[in-house]
Structure 1
Amino acid sequence: MSLNQVDVVLIALVALSALTGYRQGFLAGIAGFIGFLGGAALAMTFVPGILNSFSVGPYKPVITILLVLVIAGLAQGVFSSLGARARAGMGSGSMRAADSLGGSVLSGISVLLVAWFLAVALVAGPPSALTQKVRDSFLLTELDSVMPAQGRTLFSALRNTFDENFFPQVFAGIATPELVPVAPPDGALAGSAVAQGARDSVVEVFGDAPRCKVTLTGSGFAFGKDTVMTNAHVVAGTDRVTVRLGGTDRERSATVVLFDPRTDVAVLKVDNLDAEVLEFVSKPGSRGDDAIVIGFPGGGEFTAGAARIRD
């Protein structure tokens, strides 16, 4: 067993939290935990819908998270105070001692769960020195290996709530995946004529999902006359779908004619799209081949980025 800096910090946090939990007690701790979850669930129900009424642009995910945390924190405080009142009525006997011990255990476990959630979210982002230390953490890796399926399901649900585009992620956990090394992408490709020319074939997709109180956004491309391919999660649960060619043209109504959630593919029929059709190659790309990633990430402006096929 080899501990790194992340493990040391985590051990210190668990110890500090256990001490705080001992003084707070189990009843106050569990009541606060229930209040936090209830407040977060309530906030996640109506906050996204409220923000849709305002022009917050790319800051919507951050604002959503902050508002959810504030509301959850307030609910936690209210419920904790109720639990503290119940603890005060125990006196100073064995019941209070048991409540203190339970609070210590509960607080320690809570820190571990929060650390796991944050670690999984962190390693899913861009690689960095910190993400590597998280992957190398003995405690987090062991915790990840024993985490039940319910925990992973909950994380995926929370991620979908905060992800403005509901982009599906393969849940890989914390352990370092097997990555085949390839050369860095050729940055010049992003500004190439091929990338800019493809703009006339790429559309920005908008899906109104009133039952989920959210507007989904994504990217698609024309692969036939008035026919667009996009991701299924972009149009899932929508009542109305529109597309905008090149991200600058007027919006056109679209109809979903194929929806396959298993492969995350959807096909849209758009009247009078008048887009340049992209053709599929007969031979798939190979490891190390150049590639260009094109679309409207985060519902923003048209973006072209250089890439390279890894596998």
Structure 2
Amino acid sequence: MDLFDALVLIFVALAAINGLKVGASSLFFSYGGFFIGLALGWWIGSMTSNFFASNITSSIVRMLIAIALLFLPAMVLGSVGHLFGNKVHNWMGSHHLQGLDNGGGVVVSVVATLILAWLLSSVLANSPNQTLNSQIQRSTILRAMNQTLPSVPVNGLRRLVTEGGFPSVFSGFAPLPPGSVQEATASQVQTDVTNVGQSVVKIVGVGCGQIQEGSGFVVANGYVVTNAHVVAGITDPNVQDSSGIHHAVVVYFDPNFDLAILQVRNLNDPPLQLDTSTLAPATKTVVIGYPEGGPFNAQPSGILQEFQAIGSNIYGQGSVTRPVYQIQALVRPGNSGGPLLTTSGQVAGVVFSKSTTDSNVGYALLASGVASRLNTALSNPQQVSTEGCIAG
């Protein structure tokens, strides 16, 4: 049994005992006020998440703010409801209805406790603490609730607890990896580096008072693909390759799919070919880019599975569906926008995020989605807005 499952069961048992003692009438008003306060906290958090995410760099502090925004109003209104509920409970006792009230209290308390666990886990499932994330997302109870109940609209609050550098991929829990696979060999990695490494570039720019860095690759003569979250809020991005630094103009920006296309002056690196087929699980691949703002780096990887990921856009808004590969690879901030290569040097996808529960699992957008958007961008290339910055 998962540790988090054990904790949930312990709290459910304690809640049942408390419900039998306190009664349904008192708990109904207590939890009623509590959940109204949660809704108010969610609304406040959604309205203020952009401010906190952009101005507070510590992910731990942001997580504490998210918890405070969600639960302080809930505790206040829950206390008010408790006072009113006690009066109703006393009235029922005076009318010889206490047995019925106490029995109903068990049901109310257990249901409310499970709902609270579900709500809290939905907010914290992508926290900066990988151990906490793993315990939450591997919980049989919470995963069953997440699959059965509708998605919790907490994208704004989730932005405060998501690790900086990557967007959140899923609105709910991430699919668990099916198991480990064989990655590309050292010689296969070196072959890709030798053959196509010169076409993988670094993206650098200043947005919202901070330097933003990521990776990209040449996809057509004078055009580079990267992630939208790499250039979000940047008006004058630069592309760096082996010959130097080149000024770029963003001609395509899609915050939903998380893709951007840059037109680059004096860029002579050869374009990479897209592999728009869907790779089978266990296919060996290579991740290439400039992680953590450092030098060129290549890592072996392998395809774990392919699926449609339902999440929010790079700003934590709305509901979007992306076709993605779940890959076994070391993915770090700065890898975003870099290619996921086949061992024959073709681009199978664009690396855009990593798992919050497993340090050796990442995610890449399928090249088929890139190809259709590339055709749109190249049909009439014009500079477009990169909208606002994101956290991280």
Q: TM class by shorter-chain length?
A: 0.5 to 0.7
Q: Following TM superposition, by how much is the alpha carbon of 1:35 offset from its aligned partner in structure 2, in angstroms? A: 2.1
Q: Determine the C-alpha separation between the residues in 2 that align with 1:221 and 1:47.
A: 32
Secondary structure, counterpart of 2:33 in structure 1: helix
User: Matched residues in 1 for 2:136 and 2:41: separation?
Assistant: 30
Q: Shift of residue 229 of structure 1? A: 0.8
CA contact (8 A) 1:40 1:72 kept: yes
The CA distance in 2 between the partners of 1:26 and 1:216, in whole Å, is 49
User: Deviations for 1:15-58, whole angstroms, at most 9, x for unmatched residues?
Assistant: 2234446647232223223323423442343354245346x3xx
Shift in CA distance, 281/36, structure 1 to aligned 2, threshold 3 Å = closer
Check whether the contact 1:40–1:68 (CA below 8 A) recurs between aligned residues. Answer: no
Q: Note the 1:140-179 alignment, pairs <5 A.
A: 140=142, 142-148=144-150, 150-151=151-152, 154=153, 159=158, 162-163=161-162, 164=164, 167=167, 169=169, 173=173, 176=176, 179=178
Q: 1:215 to 1:287 in 2, by over 3 A?
A: same
**Does the 8 Å CA contact 1:291/1:306 hold for their aligned counterparts?**
yes
Matched residue, 1:279: 272
In 2, the alpha carbon distance for the partners of 1:278 and 1:64 equals: 40
Matches within 5 A, 1:60-75: 60-75=58-73
Contact 1:206 1:216 in 2 (8 A): yes
- In structure 2, what is the equivalent of residue 223 of structure 1? 219
- Mapped partners of 2:190, 2:223: distance in 1: 26
Give the match for residue 372 of structure 2: none
1:112-154, CA deviations, whole angstroms, 9 ceiling, x for partnerless residues? 42476379659xx79x9958963xx3x4454344223x44xx2
Q: Which residue of 2 aligns with 1:83?
A: 81
Q: Which has the higher strand share?
A: 2
Q: Does 1:242 align with 2:237?
A: yes
What residue number does 1:113 align with?
118
Deviation at 1:13, TM superposition (A): 1.8
Any stretches of 5+ residues in structure 1 without a counterpart? Answer: none
Contact 1:221 1:229 in 2 (8 A): yes
Relative distance call for 1:5 and 1:34 in structure 2 (3 A) is: same
Q: Distance in 2 between matches of 1:191 and 1:225?
A: 25
Structure 1 contact 293–306 (Cα < 8 Å) conserved: yes
8 A contact 1:116–1:143 mirrored in 2? no
How far 1:94 sits from its partner (Å)?
1.6
Please report how far the alpha carbon of residue 268 of structure 1 lies from its aligned counterpart in structure 2 after TM superposition: 1.9
Distance 1:62 1:140 in 2: 23
Q: SS of 1:52's equivalent?
A: helix
Output the aligned Cα RMSD. Answer: 4.9
Q: Secondary structure at the match of 2:114?
A: helix
Secondary structure at the aligned position of 2:181 is classed as coil
- Give the 3 Å change call, closer, same or farther, for CA 9–111 of structure 1 in structure 2: same
Give the number of equivalent residue pairs. Answer: 287
Q: Give the CA deviation at 1:87.
A: 3.0
1:194 matches 2:193: yes
Partners of 2:36 and 2:165 in 1: CA distance:
29
| 1:143-202 CA-partner distances (Å, limit 9, x unpaired) | 344223x44xx266654564445636356857756x376324546877899289837732
2:31 is matched with which residue: 29, 36, 40? Answer: 29
Distance 1:196 1:282 in 2: 16
Letter in 1 for 2:223: T
Partner SS, residue 25 of structure 1: helix
Structure 1 residue 66: deviation in Å?
1.8
- Structure 1 48/73 Cα, relative in aligned 2: closer, same or farther at 3 Å? same
Alignment partners' CA distance in 2, 1:268 and 1:121: 30
Alpha-carbon distance between aligned partners in 1 of 2:17 and 2:90, rounded to the nearest angstrom: 18
By percentage of residues, which structure has more helix?
1
Maintained 8 Å contact 1:165/1:216: no
1:92 shift after superposition: 0.8
Secondary structure (helix, strand or coil) at the match of 2:62 reads: helix
Aligned to 1:266: 260
For the residues of structure 2 that align with 1:67 and 1:172, how far apart are their CA atoms?
A: 21
Contact 2:122 2:154 in 1 (8 A): yes
Is the 2:286–2:299 Cα contact (8 Å) retained in structure 1?
A: yes
